[in-house]
Amino acid sequence: MREKFHASLEGNIRTLAFGLPRLGPNREYKRLLEAYWQGSLPREEFLQALEDLEGLRMATYREHVDLYPAGELSLYDPMLDLAVALGVYPVEPFDLEGYYALARGKGALPLRKWFGTNYHYLVPRLPEKPRYTPRRGFFPYPVGQKTPGSAEGLPTLLGPYTLLRLAQNPPERVEDHLEALVEAYAELLEPFAGTLFLLQEPALGLDGVERDLPHLLKAYAALAKRVPLVLLSYYLPPASEVVRSLANLPLRGLGVFPVGEALPKLPPGMALVLGVVEGQGVWRTHLLALGGILPLLEGQEVWLAPKAPLFHLPWRVDEPLPKALEGRLAFAVERLQELSLLKELLTDGQGPAGHLEAATSPSRAYQAARAWYTPPPAWELHPSPPPPPRPPLEVRRQAQQDLGLPPFPTTTIGSFPQTGKLRELRRRLRSGELDQAAYWENIKKAIEENIRLQEELGLDVLVHGEPERSDMVEFFAERLQGFFITQKGFVLSYGSRVWRPPILFAPPRRQEPLVLRETLYAQSLTAKPVKAILTGPITLAAWSYLPEGVSFPEAVMALAEALRQEVRDLAARGIRFVQVDEPALLEKMPLRREEQPSYLKLAQEAFHRVVGDLEPKVQVHQHLCYSDYAALRPFLEAMDPDVVSVEGARQDPAFLQSLKDLPLEIGPGVFDVHTPEEATVEEMLTRLQGYLNFFSPASLWVNPDCGLKTRKPQEAISNLRNMVEAAKRLRQALGGKSPGGGHAHRT
């Protein structure tokens, strides 16, 4: 009977994977984009090299899984691809310059975080009237049309609902746009009649879908008449009402089900796409613990898939690991292997644990699955008592009177350009060509150059420039016990920007100073104040892979405790400015409203654990990126920094209305650090004057959007020089001092 059951599964189980990293195994994508942008790679060679990379991706899929997408390899970002394909922006086919102007030119589209991850998407703006003029030249465009074997893949697009919910100007009534969007999608789908089509709609897990459900059902039903439609959602499971309704559509496949949820029986001809392996975590799947899916398989077609796109992972595990991690990690290619092994396990007569009989001769798949997984070690923490509440704002301002800053103080966010010379220094240190002493002497020279440059430019609050930091998370992970950092495990953040997420596998401990040495050395070089820059605990946790079985709040508070010790030492050595960077603050805010209050409390407790011991004379800065200002306000009220700097240059200053009357000082960015274009003094001055519609002159700081790490030195210098000049002109226009209501420490 058992053998008969498993034999019946062989034709009903398939594997589906999606999101294999477009970065490639050796960061080929990054190098191609940057070479093309720099003019060293001709256009046709660039496009052909992308085709070759897509061929490698397709071959990797084909080796391990049954079903996979074709045409995933974006030129920059899939949301931008979709907007251009729908005619939202008038870019002609094969106009790469027009396309990249939207991504990284002056006036480029805003960047925001993608469904609580560290991938940044470009945020399109919908047309005022719901009119869309699809351009088949952009879909599929331009990568994948020549790739051998691409006919085996499923053409794919992000869905219309995700576009509507994530746009800069989401409509109050989605029905106003859905009908026009369905017509546009139908035109794009016309060449694929009869071909399985993968429509990705991660927005189906957001709050409020029930309200839009009747219109969505009508839209999906219309598209399902054009192609055999596979509807796929991920990150968050949709509400049960949404799931039941989608299951009644004439779809070829439906993927909205995480393992463990109550699942409906789908009608004949509709495949159940089941997320069974991680797409965001790096720990191997305990395949033998998935026995609970067996009852779902009888009499139903099932496609085994990841729970999220695989681009959140490095390409593959391809380097020596410490003993504590050997045999425990799975990156993107290993996830493909897991899907293949799970399919074999489910169809070989030896099902997962809970359905196993005492077998005298376990199958190859069973033995492989048993050897694949190692249970995690225990996680033990012993936090110190929480710090006392922060002193009241009035007390802090009184204690900071002697800081002596001018009106509209100028500063930067922290990092200065990472030059080839600095990268070569780190390479030589890793290879053993330089010892630590020689490396430190070179870092001291770079810090001194940064300090002298800032003094020359006339900045008011200086930074050491972070020449020793390859990455704002990786650097701290290197100095905290409990982390492992791979050499090859790069992940795409946006465009050609990559980072290596550290792997936290044991309780984090401060085993050495983090930023103390560099900050004190910079302060010794100047009479101007130097700001110490630390990456905050939420961002350290968000941009790392966390231990199996450890919750995000547990990791955050453990990291906050380690940072607390560093901040104490900085203040004890006379540092008066401390900045805690939390670019991931809103990224990690739960997408479900009912979960947001507990996250707000976590953010408050973690921030206060880091800075709560500081005397009121120390001015606490906080930096945030890609800000949804309305969502940000309650966090700023709860965390209570003295000064906050936020991204602003890609947004209309009117967005700052949400932060009006906050009792803190604020520095919305005056130039965009993600473009090589120079912002003029006049442009910055206009932006600052716009900010004064929402903030008093006494509360306004002048700074860039974010760190300057990605810019070339001359790009950074010219923009900083213009920024300082804009601040001077604003001071002159207001009589050289803050009007009434100024804070006591401004002179």
The answer to whether residues 249 and 208 touch, using CB atoms and an 8 Å cutoff, is no
Smallest CA-to-CA distance from 641 within 557, 578, 569 is with: 578
Per annotation, catalytic residue among 64, 674, 743, 745: 674
Q: Report the chain's C-alpha Rg in angstroms.
A: 27
List Cα–Cα distances, 197 to 19, 72, 142, 231, in angstroms: 15, 13, 18, 8
The encoded tokens of residue 347 equal: 């169809």
Q: Distance of CA 206 to CAs 166, 210, 667, Å?
A: 11, 10, 31
Q: Would you call 674 a catalytic residue per the annotation?
A: yes
Helix ranges restricted to H, 135-260: 160-166, 175-189, 209-224, 240-246
Sort residue 147 into left (φ over 0), alpha (ψ -120 to 50) or beta.
Answer: beta
Q: List, in order, residues 6 or more apart from 695 with CB less than 8 Å away.
A: 656, 659, 660, 666
Q: How far apart are CA 64 and CA 11, in angstroms?
A: 17
Number of helices (H) and strands (E), helices first, in the chain?
23, 19
* Lookup: tokens for 652: 């209309």
Q: Which two tokens stand for residue 457?
A: 């430019």
Between CA 110 and CA 371 the distance in angstroms is 46
CA–CA gap between residue 603 and residue 596 (Å, rounded): 11
Task: Map residue 285 onto helix, strand or coil.
Answer: coil
Q: Cα dist. 8→124, 351, 558, 738 in Å?
A: 47, 13, 49, 79
Contact 704, 723 (CB under 8 A): yes
Instruction: Return d(Cα 729, Cα 733) in angstroms, integer.
Output: 6
203 vs 396: CA distance, rounded Å: 43
Positions annotated as catalytic residues are: 674
